[in-house]
Amino acid sequence: DKEYVGFAALPNQLHRKSVKKGFDFTLMVAGESGLGKSTLINSLFLTNLYEDRQIPEASARLTQTLTIERRGVEIEEGGIKVKLTVVDTPGFGDSVDCSDCWLPVVRFIEEQFEQYLRDESGLNRKNIQDSRVHCCLYFISPFGRGLRPLDVAFLRAVHEKVNIIPVIGKADALMPKETQALKQKIREQLKEEEINIYQFPECDSDEDEDFKRQDAEMKESIPFAVVGSCEVVRDGGPRPVRGRHYSWGTVEVENPHHCDFLNLRRMLVQTHLQDLKEVTHDLLYEGYRARCLQSLARPGARDRASRSKLSRQSATEIPLPMLPLADTEKLIREKDEELRRMQEMLEKMQAQMQLSQAQGEQSDAL
């Protein structure tokens, strides 16, 4: 009889710790306005995040630039707390001229990485706030014929920096054949343009056949064709359902024959939330970090590094990326540097004095 050591209980311990710590998850939603992004978020997490939103009129949007908005909500379910942050990109794809309109988004994602890198390299690492974007739901229009030029440009700019899950919004505009054809077209285009979307990991070989089949089906349905709704429709069916009521019928959000909402929810929330975070940390963030440090290590490669006084540091210190720091922080750093230099000078002077004193004593002794 094998002796029982007891570390099989390790997952439970992890579980308890995680539950106490809580989870945080940052989800970005991007895409043209009017594709049902906010409604889908509300449906996915059964909240009402966008109560106070003001949708500007078209004439106001003529000169609008893209902004990044963050909305946080704490959701608790079964004793587990999740701090969910939803990052919105109003103004994307709105203007007449959308050139480079994705740059603020790319900059935002990189800033989160920089922040994390700084925190990781800092002294107090106990409470690092992870504000990195773990997943980006990109909404594709059901009215187009696949990816539009703007979609391709955005995806190419961010695919190496964030997990992308492509989604077809307002999928009740499409008949089943049209949905299939559109999904096929989008998959082809993604391959052609070499855009790396988030790859749902293969399920373990020891899972049963049913699960594997389900998993394969879910993977086939990417991009997910979704319909969102927070309204409950009582249309005389067996029970009230969440859906959209039309004169010709009711679209049920949670009916897998009507749309892929359930699939998306399952894959995003129920099975792959942790994996998304891990891929963000292990793959995307590490890639960013490596790129960053490499460019710092090259002499003279970055002007800021050569100009900074931090380059005269000892080998034991880790080079930090120079961020566009706020003025006060810069001042603090500069003052710190001055203090250190003055200390060094003092030590040198002291050493010299001691030396000259010793020499003086020697000469005196002679």
Binding site for another protein (CB under 8 A): 32-35, 55, 57-59, 61-62, 94-99, 141-145, 148-150, 153, 170, 172-173, 175-178, 181, 185, 244-252, 255, 257-258
In terms of Cα–Cα distance, which of 105, 83, 85 is closest to 31?
105
Nearer Cβ to another protein, position 53 or 341? 53
CA distances from 249 to 16, 120, 235 (A): 46, 54, 9
Main-chain phi, psi angles of 188, to 5 degrees: -65, -45
Q: In the bound complex, what is the minimum distance in angstroms from residue 176's beta carbon to another protein?
A: 7
Q: In the bound complex, what is the minimum distance in angstroms from residue 187's beta carbon to another protein?
A: 14
Q: In the bound complex, what is the minimum distance in angstroms from residue 11's beta carbon to another protein?
A: 41
For residues 50 and 94, what is the distance between their CA atoms, to the nearest angstrom?
A: 19
Nearer Cβ to another protein, position 173 or 203? 173
CA angle 66-27-191, nearest 5°? 85
In terms of Cα–Cα distance, which of 240, 271, 241, 275 is closest to 258?
241
Nearer Cβ to another protein, position 4 or 248? 248
Nearer Cβ to another protein, position 32 or 88? 32
Q: In the bound complex, what is the minimum distance in angstroms from residue 156's beta carbon to another protein?
A: 12
Nearer Cβ to another protein, position 78 or 149? 149
Helix-helix angle 286-297:103-121, to 10 degrees: 80
In terms of Cα–Cα distance, which of 175, 137, 167, 183 is closest to 251?
175
Q: In the bound complex, what is the minimum distance in angstroms from residue 111's beta carbon to another protein?
A: 24
Rg from Cα positions in the chain:
27
Q: In the bound complex, what is the minimum distance in angstroms from residue 177's beta carbon to another protein?
A: 7
Nearer Cβ to another protein, position 132 or 244? 244
